[in-house]
Amino acid sequence: QSDLFWGGSGDPAEIEASALCEVNDWLKRKEGANLEERRGFMQDTMNKMVASVRHGVMKPDGAARTIHECAALLGLELASDIAEDTVIVTGLRKNVTKSDLELTFREFGEIDEAAVASNSRGFGIVRFVSRTSAQETMNKFRLGEIVVQDVAVTVKVLKSQGTSFGTAPPES
């Protein structure tokens, strides 16, 4: 039954990072997924997040934000745009911690929250207090490297569809 919801350490930011990591991994496996497939995966993700709230491992506000972010990553239409204050970090060493992310990314501005996906998957998120900090992170990434534990990582600002992740895949 534990695979029906996110548990891990019970840290809401880690659950958020793990959910986004699952979406990211699914998109890699299902390149070119049509709208129906993306909606089906989103439904499974929402069900798992609702179960996480019911089991008390995630608060409703955090779950709602995570669901919204997952839908954006899947290129689904959103009722409102997301804040664009969060960067997704990929290519991390498997032993990177939340503290490692905070140490690296604090140069770009005040961090609201940072987390690494559970199960050592090399995926993390950093949410800044200000959208400007996320933009400064991207500026540095475009001009050079961002290094976490001696490894150059890839960063992307989490945005609503039609943004840095590309436009939504065609509806087929």
**Cα–Cα–Cα angle for 26, 19, 172, nearest 5°?**
35
Q: What secondary structure does DSSP assign to 94-128, as a single string?
A: TT--HHHHHHHHGGGS-EEEEEE-TTT-SEEEEEE
161, pLDDT greater than 50: yes
pLDDT digits (tens, 9 = 90+) for 46-71: 998 998 888 888 899 999 999 999 99
Q: What is the model's pLDDT at position 6? A: 62
Using 50, 70 and 90 to split pLDDT, how confident is the model at 11?
Answer: confident
- Residues 81-114 have pLDDT tens digits of 888 999 999 999 999 999 999 999 999 999 999 9
Average the pLDDT over 23-33 and give the result.
Answer: 92
Pick left, alpha or beta for residue 78 (phi over 0 → left; psi -120 to 50 → alpha; otherwise beta): beta
* Averaged confidence pLDDT in the chain: 87
H or E element at residue 139: helix 131-143
pLDDT given for residue 55 in this prediction: 84
Q: Which residue has the tokens 């990434």?
A: 141
Confidence (pLDDT) at 8: 62
Q: Which residue has the higher pLDDT, 8 or 149?
A: 149
Cβ proximity of 58 and 6 under 8 Å:
yes
Sign of CA dihedral 12, 77, 130, 99: positive
Q: Take residue 92 and report the two structure tokens written for it.
A: 């991390």
User: What pLDDT was estimated at residue 169?
Assistant: 41
99-108 confidence digits (pLDDT tens): 999 999 999 9
